[in-house]
Amino acid sequence: MGRGDSLLRQWQLLNFLQKNRRGITLRDLADLSGYSARTIQRDLKLLSDAGFPVSHETNDYGKRFWRLPPDFLHREGLVLSITEAVALYFARQLLSPLQGTEFAHGLDSVISKIRAMLPETALDYFQELSGLILVRGQGRADYARHKHTIQAFSQAIRTRSVVRITYKAVWRGETYTTEVHPYGLVYFEGDLYVVGHSERSRAMRVFKITRTLHVEVTRTRFQRPTTFSLEEYFHGSFGIMPSGAHETQVVVEFHPQIAPLIEERQWHPSQRFERTDSGWVRISLRLRNTLEFKRWVLGFGHQARVIHPPALRKEIAEALSAALALYREPSLCTPPARRKPAINALHAGPIRPAKQPVQGINSFS
């Protein structure tokens, strides 16, 4: 049996001990885990040697009851069991995209308390179990560089203070300054956004943290609408774009080859699935904004087709045609010709080709 199996068994053993606060006998532990009493006794000793506060009490009849402290961490109203504490310790990587921000600092504070309560040997004992889960992502933003921006927005949200920001609107190609009433933060697919009222637009807007070039918390206070809800604000949206006023019925069909990939996830609260006679899976949704949905559908290429509405179907067809035209562009398909170096009859050493600028789509001016 590998060490990974032993660790999983011992982790399960800690859970059994935690749930039975009054104690549990060695025989009962063996029955619950499906292993021999001898194996369980050896595991209890290993856990105790590693620094976990495993103890036992003997009753008047000489029977031992094994137990763990019921409230391992108890600080200012926070109660954590020992297994919860160790699990939290290893779950730090779930917040790795926000490393360097006050959100990660909050978790680091809890981790510091756990470290103070458990010896290093106990924390390291289950280190291999942390390899059972890995947080991965592409194009991850470095929010440690934006921690002051996040702190300023967080303060403004908490104190209902107006902020003055300088913002780079990538899609419009402009940089502008405006006052914003920040209502809340949204973490979506690895990115942080601020939702609030823009005085420049006189309307609600969503601002990306990484595109906020400067933020200043002013002394002016704002009144947050009592009926405002972040969840309701994005109701009908397919991503981070705010919902529109009108709801649209959207129907898309996906090729049988990728149908299981579509059916296994909840893409939107309003989604409905059905299989066609040809094996395609049809998804129906009610959306108030189709911009992000269009990008999502385009990502499936020839394995997705929009059925309704006709306007969206036309937009998808035009986008795919434009993409096809790029691949038909001859300048992108023909490799650049290499210039032959001039031969110098008086050159005694090896001939070195002249340096040429890189041509084509990979060149930078």
Q: What are the tens digits of pLDDT across the range 21-60?
A: 788 999 999 998 889 999 999 999 988 888 888 888 888 8
Claim to verify: residue 277 and residue 225 sit in the same structural domain: no
Claim to verify: residue 261 and residue 226 sit in the same structural domain: no
What phi and psi, each to the nearest 5 degrees, are found at residue 272?
-135, 135
DSSP, residue by residue, 348-360? -S---PPP-PPPG
pTM of this prediction? 0.61
Looking at residue 202, its pLDDT comes to 94
Amino acid at residue number 230: L
Domain stop point among 197, 230, 263: 230
- Tally of structural domains, the chain: 3
pLDDT confidence tier of residue 160, bands split at 50, 70 and 90: very high
Claim to verify: residue 123 and residue 4 sit in the same structural domain: yes
CATH of the domain at 165: 2.30.30.520
pLDDT confidence tier of residue 267, bands split at 50, 70 and 90: very high
Query: Does residue 236 fall inside a structural domain?
Result: no
Overall average pLDDT of the 272-298 stretch: 93
Other C-beta atoms closer than 10 Å to the C-beta of 250 total: 24
Claim to verify: residue 14 and residue 117 sit in the same structural domain: yes
**Residues 6 or more apart whose Cβ sits within 8 Å of residue 32:** 16
Looking at residue 107, its pLDDT comes to 66
DSSP conformation class of 24: B
What phi and psi, each to the nearest 5 degrees, are found at residue 63?
-90, 135
> What does the radius of gyration of the chain's CA atoms come to, in whole angstroms?
30
Domain stop point among 136, 151, 184: 136
Give the helix, strand, coil percentages of the chain, each rounded to 5: 40, 25, 35
Overall average pLDDT of the 321-342 stretch: 71
CATH of the domain at 286: 3.30.70
Q: Do 200 and 174 touch, CB atoms closer than 8 A?
A: no
Claim to verify: residue 31 and residue 102 sit in the same structural domain: yes
Query: Does residue 353 fall inside a structural domain?
Result: no
Residue 149 C-alpha from the chain's centroid:
20
- Domain residues for the domain of 117 are 1-136
Q: Do 166 and 147 touch, CB atoms closer than 8 A?
A: no
- Strands laid side by side in the 174-188 sheet: 203-208, 191-198, 174-188, 161-169, 212-221
Query: Does residue 89 fall inside a structural domain?
Result: yes
% of the chain with per-residue pLDDT over 70: 71
Claim to verify: residue 46 and residue 111 sit in the same structural domain: yes
Claim to verify: residue 11 and residue 127 sit in the same structural domain: yes
Residues belonging to the chain: 365
